[in-house]
């Protein structure tokens, strides 16, 4: 296999089967996917379709059992040991005994950055996610949306080119979510990262992505890959344009095709 | 302030008042037979008020009255030099030093075992059953043997008592710390994994701080039973010094007031020790920025 220089994630025939007491569970089967540098890729599908599992395989938090995958041209394990990606979980997962700036500094401490460099980066990250002035606060003193922004700052602090986000705004209300989506797009444009984004929400996926991967369960598989025709500049009201609705319609069709709701 | 008085002080005072009332009734009831006996032997007939009065002033009562215990406590703490063998402060210090030594060793041992158990499956499987089994042996049965065995190899004085304290106090620490070190959510462990953090980094930056509330809860239990261990350790040594010795000599000579005074001293000591740990607990949690 010879991935192109632009390839960030390249999966071929990827499969993952969990052995359980009730027999094997095919969390992923025959997934072929290319993610290029600078892409914003959303993974959408019902529960059990393997979207989170796929993200965890990229992050080397799960091991695939079939096919192959490279991350930055390496195995996921090598990529992880190279600190190639930042991971944002569904919950903010901030350490309650660390202030916000200490939370953002956590990966930097672990990776052995000098203290002055840590301080510089923490300040820059706080600024990037609009949390300047909240560095000394503890997580419980912040709202859910602010906590999630802090966790994004933490994932970006060490310059990984790839950002893996597992339903990061799933637990937030619609208004906060809209706001964060808008901010995330700006952040993506400013940092030129490659982002893999797992979501349940069709509008969110269409609004954010350059590429939408529609998945379906039993076995977890990719049923459609939609390349967005929306422009890079996306104000929130782009969601009422016919073009947007067209893509959303196609995602919905893909979800319907892959999943029988009569089961 | 008045709310504090009403919500915190008043309930405590009410309970103390109730205990004192019951205690005084019990003093009269339990000491009356002996007083009647004495009076009968002396050929006196005593009135009820005389009976009550005498039950409160026995030299060796079945149950001493509270004021007798307070008087004895006052006499043996304030009126005696602290170096005197008749000073309760002296005996309390003997016991306290063994308690603190045993508590320190138990804490270190407990934390070390917990770290091993959390990080090694083999230790988890092989050690944990023994840790639990160790506590099913009654300490009263094993304490004399520890003293005798250590004496025969030339270790005596503080060490054997401290070891009995250690034996008792390491257990809550192990159990609490195993739970505490395992308390971080999978999510937080995964996060460390994505940073390619070493086991030591995961320990110091995640498991250790996450275990602090568990540690202090265990420490509170451990310090109280360390004191019990030290007192129990003093009983079979032939009663030389320490609160246990006071209890033992008190029971040899029927000095119930002395026994109760030593008991109150032990209880007071335990309360102070637990409060100190509780205070340290609050300070540490506050420094860790925990929601008040």
**Six-digit token pair at A203?**
């509008």
Closest residue by Cα to residue A103 from A65, A82, A80, A134: A134
Write a three-state SS string for chain B: CHHHHHHHHHHHHHHHHHHHHHHHHHHHHHHHHHHHHHHHHCCCCCCHHHHHHHHCCCCCCCCCCHHHHHHHHHHHHCCCCCCCCCCHHHHHHHHHHHHHHHHHHHHHHHHHHHHHHHHCHHHHHHHHHHHHHHCCCCHHHHHHHHHHHHHHCCCCCHHHHHHHHHHHHHHHHHHHHHHHHCCCCHHHHHHHHHCCCCHHHHHHHHHHHHHHHHHHHHHHHHHHHHHHHHHHHHHHHCCCCCHHHHHHHHHHCCCHHHHHHHHHHHHHHHHHHHHHHHHHHHHHHHHCCCCC
Domain map (residue ranges) of chain B: 2-62, 88-287
Dist. CA A143–CA A148, nearest whole Å: 9
User: Of residues B155 and B230, which shows the higher confidence score?
Assistant: B230
For residues A44 and A251, the answer to whether their CB atoms sit within 8 Å is yes
Query: Domain check: are A179 and A253 in the same one?
Result: no
Residue A127 C-alpha from the chain's centroid: 21
Query: Domain check: are A196 and A240 in the same one?
Result: no
B107-134 pLDDT tens trace: 999 999 999 999 999 988 998 888 888 8
Please name the residue that has the structure tokens 């158990």. B117
Cβ–Cβ below 8 Å for A87 and B291: no
Q: Does A212 reside within a domain?
A: no
Give the mean model confidence (pLDDT) for residues A172-200: 88
Sequence-ordered list of residues with C-beta below 8 angstroms from that of B223, at least 6 positions apart, any chain: B99, B103, B169, B270, B273, B274, B277
The three-state secondary structure class of A33 is strand
| Statement: residue A263 has pLDDT above 80 | no
Per-residue pLDDT at A259: 61
Query: Domain check: are A77 and A173 in the same one?
Result: yes
Helix (H) / strand (E) element for A81: namely: helix A76-81
| Statement: residue A3 has pLDDT above 60 | no
The reported pTM is: 0.84
Chain A residues touching residue B197 (CB < 8 angstroms): 110
**Six-digit token pair at A163?**
């950002």
B138 has a chain A CB within 8 A of its CB: no
Sequence-ordered list of residues with C-beta below 8 angstroms from that of A199, at least 6 positions apart, any chain: A42, A43, A44, A167, A169, A170, A205
DSSP letter, residue A35: E
Residues of A near B (Cβ–Cβ under 8 Å) read: 59-61, 80-81, 83, 85-87, 89, 91, 93, 95-99, 106-107, 109-111, 138, 140
Query: Domain check: are A106 and A21 in the same one?
Result: yes
Give the mean model confidence (pLDDT) for residues A210-237: 86
Cβ–Cβ below 8 Å for B196 and A97: no
User: Which of B194, B201, B205 is opposite residue A80, by nearest beta carbon?
Assistant: B194
User: Which of A89, A96, A106 is opposite residue B187, by nearest beta carbon?
Assistant: A89
B121 has a chain A CB within 8 A of its CB: no
Interface residue of A55, A58, A90, A95 to substitute, partner B, most B CBs within 10 Å: A95
B186-237 pLDDT tens trace: 999 999 999 999 999 999 999 999 999 999 999 999 999 999 999 988 887 6
**Six-digit token pair at B65?**
């009255």
How many domains are contained in chain A? 2
Residue B32, exposed/middle/buried by CB under 10 A (0-12, 13-18, 19+)? middle
Dist. CA B229–CA B170, nearest whole Å: 12
**Domain boundaries, position A253:** 236-263
**Six-digit token pair at A144?**
């859910």
Cβ–Cβ below 8 Å for B188 and A111: no
> Residue A84's domain is classified under what CATH number?
3.40.50.300
The three-state secondary structure class of A126 is helix
Query: Domain check: are A247 and A196 in the same one?
Result: no
Query: Domain check: are A197 and A241 in the same one?
Result: no
Q: Which residues pair with A28 in a beta bridge?
A: A16
Query: Domain check: are A178 and A244 in the same one?
Result: no
For residues A231 and A219, the answer to whether their CB atoms sit within 8 Å is no
Prediction ipTM score: 0.86
Residue A180 CB neighbours (<10 A): 21
B291 has a chain A CB within 8 A of its CB: yes
CATH architecture of B88-287: Orthogonal Bundle (1.10)
Angle (deg, nearest 10), helices A100-110 and A144-156: 20
| Residues B60-95: b if buried by 16+ CB within 10 A, e if exposed | ebebbbeebbeebbeebbeeeeeeeeebbbbbbbbb
Chain A residues touching residue B291 (CB < 8 angstroms): 96, 138, 140
Residue B239's pLDDT band (cuts 50, 70, 90): low
Last residue of a domain, one of A201, A218, A244: A201
Strands A194-199 and A40-44, bridge-based pairing: parallel
Query: Domain check: are A67 and A187 in the same one?
Result: yes
Give the nearest chain A residue to B201 (CA atoms): A110
A91-145 pLDDT tens trace: 889 999 999 999 999 999 999 999 999 999 999 999 888 898 999 999 999 998 8
B289 has a chain A CB within 8 A of its CB: yes
Strands A23-36 and A7-20, bridge-based pairing: antiparallel
Q: How far is A162 from chain B (nearest CA, A)?
A: 12
Q: Does A1 reside within a domain?
A: no
Residue A180 C-alpha from the chain's centroid: 14
User: Which of A61, A109, A138 is opposite residue B193, by nearest beta carbon?
Assistant: A61
Query: Domain check: are A105 and A17 in the same one?
Result: yes
Query: Domain check: are A144 and A78 in the same one?
Result: yes
Give the mean model confidence (pLDDT) for residues A217-245: 85
Per-residue pLDDT at A262: 45
Chain A residues touching residue B191 (CB < 8 angstroms): 87, 89, 93
Q: Does A216 reside within a domain?
A: no
Give the mean model confidence (pLDDT) for residues B148-159: 85
Q: Does A39 reside within a domain?
A: yes
Kindly list the strands in the beta sheet with A7-20, ordered across the sheet, starting from the edge strand earlier in the chain: A23-36, A7-20, A66-71
Q: Does A197 reside within a domain?
A: yes
């Amino acid at each position: 296999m010879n991935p192109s220089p632009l390839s960030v994630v390249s999966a071929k025939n990827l499969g993952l089967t969990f052995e359980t007491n009730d027999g094997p569970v095919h969390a992923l089967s025959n997934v072929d996917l290319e993610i290029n540098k600078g892409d914003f890729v959303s993974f959408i599908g019902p529960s059990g379709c393997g979207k989170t599992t796929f993200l965890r395989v990229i992050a080397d938090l799960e091991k695939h059992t079939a096919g192959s995958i490279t991350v930055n041209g390496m195995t996921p394990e090598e990529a992880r040991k190279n600190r190639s990606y930042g991971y944002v979980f569904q919950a903010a997962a901030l350490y309650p005994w660390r202030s916000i700036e200490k939370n953002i500094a956590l990966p930097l401490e672990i990776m052995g950055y000098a203290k002055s460099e840590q301080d510089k980066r923490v300040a820059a990250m706080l600024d990037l996610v609009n949390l300047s002035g909240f560095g000394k606060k503890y997580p419980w003193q912040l709202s859910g949306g602010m906590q999630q922004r802090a966790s994004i700052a933490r994932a970006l602090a060490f310059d990984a080119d790839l950002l893996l986000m597992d339903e990061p705004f799933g637990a937030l209300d619609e208004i906060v979510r809209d706001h964060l989506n808008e901010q995330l797009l700006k952040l993506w444009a400013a940092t030129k990262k490659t982002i893999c984004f797992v979501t349940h929400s069709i509008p969110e996926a269409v609004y954010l992505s350059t590429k939408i991967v529609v998945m379906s369960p039993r076995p977890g598989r990719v049923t459609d890959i939609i390349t967005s025709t929306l422009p890079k500049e996306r104000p929130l009201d782009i969601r009422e344009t016919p073009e947007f609705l067209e893509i959303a319609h196609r995602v919905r069709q893909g979800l319907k095709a892959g999943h029988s709701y009569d089961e | 302030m008045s709310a504090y008085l009403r919500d915190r002080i008043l309930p405590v005072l009410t309970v103390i008042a109730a205990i004192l009332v019951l205690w005084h009734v019990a003093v009269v009831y339990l000491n009356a037979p002996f007083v009647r006996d004495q009076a009968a032997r002396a050929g006196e007939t005593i009135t009820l008020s005389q009976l009550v009065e005498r039950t409160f002033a026995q030299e060796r009562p079945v149950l001493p009255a509270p004021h007798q215990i307070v008087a004895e406590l006052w006499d043996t703490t304030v009126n005696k030099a602290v170096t005197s063998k008749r000073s309760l402060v002296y005996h309390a210090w003997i016991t306290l030093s063994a308690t603190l030594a045993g508590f320190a060793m138990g804490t270190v041992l407990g934390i070390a075992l917990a770290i091993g158990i959390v990080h090694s499956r083999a230790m988890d499987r092989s050690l944990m059953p023994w840790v639990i089994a160790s506590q099913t042996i009654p300490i009263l049965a094993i304490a004399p043997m520890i003293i005798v065995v250590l004496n025969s190899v030339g270790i005596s004085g503080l060490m054997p008592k401290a070891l009995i304290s250690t034996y008792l106090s390491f257990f809550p620490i192990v159990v609490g710390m195993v739970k505490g070190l395992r308390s971080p959510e999978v999510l937080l462990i995964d996060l460390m994994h994505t940073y390619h953090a070493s086991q030591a980094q995961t320990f110091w930056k995640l498991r250790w701080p996450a275990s602090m509330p568990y540690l202090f809860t265990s420490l509170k239990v451990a310090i109280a039973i360390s004191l019990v261990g030290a007192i129990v350790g003093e009983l079979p040594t032939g009663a030389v010094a320490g609160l246990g010795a006071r209890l033992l000599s008190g029971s040899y000579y029927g000095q119930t007031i002395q026994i109760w005074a030593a008991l109150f001293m032990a209880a007071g000591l335990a309360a102070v020790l637990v409060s100190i740990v509780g205070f340290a607990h609050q300070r540490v949690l506050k420094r860790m920025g925990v929601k008040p």
